[in-house]
Structure formats: structure tokens, C-alpha cells
């Protein structure tokens, strides 16, 4: 994802014979992307990492049940109306899907009972409510409301929500590799000084030590199906790791927004990119400062992308009828813009406190039956001026 990091004990060079402090052999697990051409990490484990046998399935979320393609209309889904489900593995609820990605929402209530490996794609969460730990072989990583949480494809993990804390998370699964937009990097791979966030804004596991939670169940998602395995040892047995593939947190409020004389288009808020997808962060910021600037988004027909907006608070001034936890989907093919009144009214504010996550994607999104269950049927018509 970003820079190379080293945590715990690692030998002086990869692929050497290495031993633990107790004199037992250490086993490498090389987690590699793009075959052996992309980013990689090497974990050093106390046990052979490739010992798992087929077993009963423990925890799996419902496969998306897509509805037939519908007339392009502006859509609004109320995510907080989705049910609270047991563990994160069961609670991931796909709402909108295309070939490049799935996006959904989850409201877990309990720690995962099994470790989970998503072998279908990189996952990105936006923590809307709650806090907890992402536990993985790379070490523990804490998360809280307002954090992006990235879990690379193939990273074994489980969610441990803080007890008694309502949890809700926006969720993306990308078929391609998720990363920072390439133009934020300089030629040696550092984040440029004019990028909207810095290396220091990312949190990653800082400690790793063998841990046996007594859990031996593993769930693997591959090709849209779920498979159960029984592990022979605790998979949290790494004494160290080294590489550029690891779970990470980026707090959305660490994003430094761009402001212009007149309204700037959404890509200035780009935060993450994946093939066919751009994730943007709208954070509190001063409004456009030309004396005659219209500080609301200009009506537009962005004819090559579907646009999804998740509202993390209730301060999106150009829209009404949406609130914290709302998800809007504006499909390519029909124009969209501010609600009636927002564009026409003389601006009085000089600052916006909006907090939102936006997705632009190049392939059309189809809704799932779960999405229809929380759809606001009046949303499209709400843009009609009276
Ligand atoms: Fe838009």
C-alpha cells in the first residue's frame, strides 16, 4: 500500500534459515501481489503456515442477490435501517455491485468466531460508528469512528468490536488492487509534500507477538463462495514481518482538503484508487472564496461514472432528506446536482462541516435485494422544484 515497514524480529535477509528465541525453526509466509511482480510482505511464523484442512464453515455473509437492472434514477438507501447481525463475517451486507467492486454496510454485534481471509479482493471499511480491534497475523490495529480501515486481499484477520459499542461500517471490496492515487507519489514512491495526507497519518500494527486465542476455524471467501477450514495451530504466530502489504488505518479527518476560488470537482478529494473506482473524502473545510462563488456542487452529467455518496454526518448542505448513514446512488445517464433551493439561494456560510465518503466507478452498479429493503422511494422526486 505505502512504504515498507518492519515490525518485530526479522532475519537479516529473506529466505535464510532462521530460528525463534526458543531455537525452533521460523517459517516464512510471503504474501505477494500480482504474482511476484507487485508489493509483498514476509511474515516469520512459529508454525508451517500451510496447514489447514477442509472443515465446517463458521460464519459467512449472504451472497449478493442482485435485482434486475432498473431504470436509472437517483436512489437513496438508509443504511442504519439494516439489521444488526452477529459477527462481521456474517454482517457484511452487499448493497451495490459491479464487476470491479461490491459496496455495502455492516452492523456487527459480536467478535468474529473464526478468522477470515477474503481471497476475492482488497477490503476498505469506513468506520461510521463504534471502535474495536482488527486482529491479524501482522498484529493488532485499533479502529474508531471516522477511520478508514484497509485489509489487503489474503490477510487473515478477525474483527473484535469493543463490547457494548454500537458498530456500523461502510464496506468496499475491490477486485483490483487498492492504493493511493498514483499522482500523490513522487518518483521514489514517497507521498508528495502536496498530497492531501502524509505517511504519518497512516496507522499500522506496531507490535507483533505470538498469540493463541484458541480459535482454529478459518473462513475463506473465493470466487464469491465461502469455504471452511480447520487450522492446526493458531495463525497469530508471527514474531515479525517486513514488507509493504499490511492492514492500515487512515483517519478521514487527516485528509487535508483543497479549496478553490470557485467550486472544485470531486477528484481533488481523491483518497484511494482501485481499477474502476475512486474513493473521495469530503471533510470540513472553508467554502469557495470568489465573491460570487456558488459553493454548492454544480449540476452535472458525469456520463462515464456512477456516483455513490455515503453521508457520515447530517451536514451536507446541498442535499436534503438524507442524514447520517444515508447512501445515495446517482447513476450515469441522468444529470444530478443540488436539491432545489441550494443552488439558487445566496450563500451565507463560509465553512462547511460536511463529512462524507464518495465513490466514482466506471461500471454501472446493480442494487441488491438488501438495498431495496432500505430504499427511500421518494428520493428521486425530491429533486423536483415545486
Ligand atoms: Fe456528482
Q: How far is the CA of 39 from the centre of ligand 1 (A)?
A: 33
Q: How far is the CA of 320 from the centre of ligand 1 (A)?
A: 15
Cα atoms in the Cβ-side hemisphere of radius 13 Å centred on 341: 7
Q: How far is the CA of 337 from the centre of ligand 1 (A)?
A: 6
Q: How far is the CA of 70 from the centre of ligand 1 (A)?
A: 20
Contacts of residue 12, defined as CB under 8 A and 6 or more positions apart, other chains included, come to: none
Q: How far is the CA of 155 from the centre of ligand 1 (A)?
A: 33
Q: How far is the CA of 299 from the centre of ligand 1 (A)?
A: 8
DSSP secondary structure string for all residues of 86-129: EEHHHH-EEEEE-SSEEEEEE-EEE--SSEEEE-S-EEEEEEEE
Q: How far is the CA of 336 from the centre of ligand 1 (A)?
A: 6
Q: How far is the CA of 104 from the centre of ligand 1 (A)?
A: 19
Q: How far is the CA of 270 from the centre of ligand 1 (A)?
A: 13
- N-to-C CA span, the chain: 48
pLDDT value of position 21: 86
Q: How far is the CA of 100 from the centre of ligand 1 (A)?
A: 20
* Dihedral angle of Cα 270, 67, 150, 305, to the nearest 10 degrees: -10
Q: How far is the CA of 367 from the centre of ligand 1 (A)?
A: 19
Q: How far is the CA of 249 from the centre of ligand 1 (A)?
A: 26
**Considering only CA atoms, which of 82, 149, 118, 167 is closest in space to residue 368?**
82
* Dihedral angle of Cα 92, 97, 100, 104, to the nearest 10 degrees: -30
Give the residue ranges of the chain where pLDDT is below 50: none
Q: How far is the CA of 383 from the centre of ligand 1 (A)?
A: 14
Q: Cβ distance 316 to 296 under 8 Å? A: no
Q: How far is the CA of 42 from the centre of ligand 1 (A)?
A: 41
Q: How far is the CA of 361 from the centre of ligand 1 (A)?
A: 12
Q: How far is the CA of 298 from the centre of ligand 1 (A)?
A: 8
331 grid coordinates: 447513476
Q: How far is the CA of 360 from the centre of ligand 1 (A)?
A: 9
Backbone φ and ψ of 268, nearest 5°: -70, -15
146 grid coordinates: 471516522
Q: How far is CA 127 from CA 42, 155, 195, 219, in A?
A: 28, 19, 23, 23
CA distance 105 to 95: 7
pLDDT value of position 345: 83
Q: How far is the CA of 300 from the centre of ligand 1 (A)?
A: 6
pLDDT value of position 22: 87
Q: How far is the CA of 228 from the centre of ligand 1 (A)?
A: 41
Q: How far is the CA of 168 from the centre of ligand 1 (A)?
A: 25
Q: How far is CA 292 from CA 227, 263, 267, 289, in A?
A: 59, 11, 23, 8
Q: Convert 354-363 to b/e letters by CB count within 10 Å (16 or more is b).
A: bbbbbbbbee
pLDDT value of position 244: 97
CA angle 5, 6, 12 (to 5 degrees): 130
Q: Cβ distance 66 to 364 under 8 Å? A: no
Q: Cβ distance 313 to 252 under 8 Å? A: no
Q: How far is the CA of 41 from the centre of ligand 1 (A)?
A: 37
Q: How far is the CA of 280 from the centre of ligand 1 (A)?
A: 11
Is the CA virtual torsion 341, 343, 349, 352 positive or negative?
Answer: positive
- Any idea what DSSP says for residue 370? H
Q: How far is the CA of 356 from the centre of ligand 1 (A)?
A: 13
Q: How far is the CA of 74 from the centre of ligand 1 (A)?
A: 11
pLDDT value of position 238: 97
pLDDT value of position 338: 87
Q: How far is the CA of 308 from the centre of ligand 1 (A)?
A: 8
Which single residue is written with the C-alpha cell 487512515?
250
pLDDT value of position 141: 98
pLDDT value of position 330: 96
Q: How far is the CA of 307 from the centre of ligand 1 (A)?
A: 6
**Tens digits of residue pLDDT in 321-336:** 899 999 999 999 999 8
pLDDT value of position 60: 79
Amino acid at each position: 500500500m505505502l512504504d515498507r515497514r518492519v515490525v518485530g524480529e526479522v532475519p537479516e535477509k529473506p529466505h535464510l534459515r532462521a530460528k525463534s528465541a526458543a531455537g525452533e525453526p521460523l517459517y516464512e509466509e510471503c504474501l505477494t501481489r500480482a504474482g511476484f511482480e507487485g508489493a509483498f510482505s514476509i511474515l516469520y511464523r512459529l508454525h508451517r503456515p500451510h496447514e489447514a484442512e477442509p472443515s465446517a464453515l463458521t460464519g459467512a455473509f449472504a451472497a449478493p442477490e442482485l435485482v434486475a437492472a432498473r431504470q436509472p434514477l437517483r436512489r437513496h438507501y438508509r443504511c442504519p435501517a439494516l439489521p444488526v447481525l452477529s459477527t462481521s463475517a456474517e454482517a457484511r451486507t452487499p448493497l451495490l455491485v459491479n464487476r470491479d467492486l461490491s459496496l455495502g454496510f455492516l452492523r456487527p454485534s459480536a467478535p468474529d468466531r473464526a478468522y477470515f481471509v477474503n481471497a476475492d479482493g482488497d477490503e476498505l471499511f469506513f468506520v461510521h460508528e463504534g471502535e474495536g480491534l482488527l486482529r491479524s497475523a501482522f498484529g493488532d490495529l485499533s479502529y474508531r469512528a471516522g477511520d478508514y480501515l484497509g485489509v489487503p486481499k489474503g490477510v487473515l484477520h478477525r474483527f473484535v468490536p469493543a463490547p457494548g459499542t454500537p458498530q456500523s461500517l461502510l464496506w468496499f471490496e475491490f477486485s483490483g488492487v487498492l492504493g493511493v492515487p498514483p499522482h500523490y507519489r513522487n518518483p521514489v514512491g514517497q507521498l508528495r509534500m502536496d498530497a492531501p495526507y502524509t505517511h504519518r497519518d497512516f496507522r499500522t500494527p506496531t507490535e507483533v507477538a505470538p498469540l493463541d486465542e484458541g480459535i482454529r476455524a478459518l473462513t475463506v471467501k473465493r470466487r464469491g463462495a465461502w469455504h471452511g477450514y480447520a487450522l492446526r495451530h493458531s495463525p497469530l504466530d508471527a514474531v515479525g514481518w517486513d514488507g509493504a502489504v499490511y492492514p492500515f488505518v487512515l483517519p478521514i479527518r487527516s485528509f487535508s482538503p483543497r479549496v478553490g476560488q470557485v467550486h472544485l470537482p470531486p477528484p481533488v478529494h481523491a483518497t484511494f484508487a482501485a481499477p474502476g473506482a475512486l474513493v473521495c473524502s469530503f471533510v470540513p473545510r472553508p467554502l469557495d472564496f470568489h465573491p460570487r462563488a456558488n459553493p454548492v456542487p454544480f449540476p452535472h452529467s458525469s456520463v462515464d461514472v456512477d456516483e455513490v455518496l455515503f453521508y457520515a454526518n447530517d451536514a451536507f448542505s446541498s442535499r436534503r432528506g438524507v442524514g447520517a448513514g444515508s447512501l445515495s446512488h446517482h447513476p450515469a445517464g441522468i444529470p444530478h446536482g443540488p436539491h432545489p433551493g441550494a443552488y439558487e439561494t445566496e450563500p451565507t456560510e463560509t465553512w462547511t462541516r460536511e463529512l462524507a465518503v464518495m465513490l466514482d466507478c466506471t461500471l454501472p452498479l446493480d442494487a441488491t435485494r438488501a438495498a431495496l429493503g432500505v430504499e427511500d422511494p421518494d428520493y428521486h422526486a425530491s429533486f423536483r422544484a415545486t
